[in-house]
Amino acid sequence: MIEFKNIEKAFGKNEVLQGIDLRFTQTGRISAVLGPNGSGKTTLIKSLLGMVLPDEGSIEVNGQPIRREWAYRNQIDYLPQIARFPENLRVAELLRMIKDIRGGASRDEELIKRFGLQPFLDKRLGTLSGGTKQKVNLTLALMYARPIVILDEPTSGLDPVAMIQLKELIRQEKAHGKMVLITTHIMSFVEEMADEIVFLLDGKIYFRGSVAEIKTQHQAEGLEEAIAGILKGQLSATARTVAEPKSALQSIMSHLQTA
């Protein structure tokens, strides 16, 4: 179980998270955390990982507060949105290094085969394409089969074959009873894969429920249309409450650029 209790976080005057109360209790379930850029989703995930310290509130994993703790991270597989590798290392060297650091049984060989990385094992990381780096990133993130899986923009740069492999892998993780959290801007991926959606807007939870529920609520045929409806409604409300027309226009353009 993961529980966020009244999480507040600000960077200067920018209030990124505002009183977030959120619980993930079901295993064997895929939850998508969505929202435009600046909505707080990455800060929320980094708070769970201990990479960001909330100003207020607490986070618990399996009933235990995580503040000033680290052992709970052994229960989490994490895929960062942007992976930065030492460019002079070869792929095989990086994999060996991670196994030496973390120890224990790993399934790197299975993932290497799944993502077709065999021809690249002797290649230096700095020479790889973005899509191949993402396959390495996925292999590193998932090679230890932890009960909680967090994937930040997992589809980035993947070709259609690798995308199919990723979807099959995520479904397997779900079937094995894992708790899977995904952040992405690819609504078709969410619509196909997610059991539930948590939609953040301006640091608050705007919606939580299934894909079918959000489409019904916003009378939309697809998830992308439903999300667009939410953002347009928010933009209209912002425009009505801003006194100066120029400020209203700037706010609307900012939201449209990050939608």
Q: Same domain for 165 and 243?
A: no
The domain spanning residue 139 has which CATH number?
3.40.50.300
Q: Same domain for 115 and 243?
A: no
22 neighbors 198 (Cβ within 8 angstroms): yes
Measured in whole angstroms, the distance separating CA 136 from the mean position of its chain's CA atoms is 17
Nearest to 119 by CA among 108, 132, 130, 106: 132
Q: Same domain for 181 and 221?
A: no
pLDDT at 249 over 80: no
Q: Same domain for 197 and 225?
A: no
In the structure, what pLDDT confidence band is assigned to residue 235 with cuts at 50, 70 and 90?
low
Q: Same domain for 34 and 147?
A: yes
Nearest to 48 by CA among 214, 208, 181: 181
Q: Same domain for 244 and 155?
A: no
Nearest to 135 by CA among 79, 174, 97, 186: 79
Q: Same domain for 202 and 238?
A: no
Q: What is the pTM of this model?
A: 0.86
pLDDT at 252 over 50: no
In the structure, what pLDDT confidence band is assigned to residue 246 with cuts at 50, 70 and 90?
very low
Strand 148-152 and strand 76-79: the pairing is parallel
Q: Same domain for 197 and 187?
A: yes
Q: Quick count: other Cβ atoms within 10 Å of Cβ 255?
A: 18
Q: Same domain for 49 and 143?
A: yes
Q: Same domain for 44 and 171?
A: yes
Q: Same domain for 95 and 218?
A: no
How much of the chain is helix, strand and coil, in % rounded to 5?
A: 45, 25, 30
Number of domains in the chain: 2
HSE, side-chain direction, 13 A CA sphere, residue 9: 27
pLDDT at 15 over 50: yes
Query: Among residues 209, 230, 251, which one ends one of the domains?
Result: 209
Q: Same domain for 84 and 133?
A: yes
Span 95-121, mean pLDDT?
92
Range of the domain at 140: 2-209
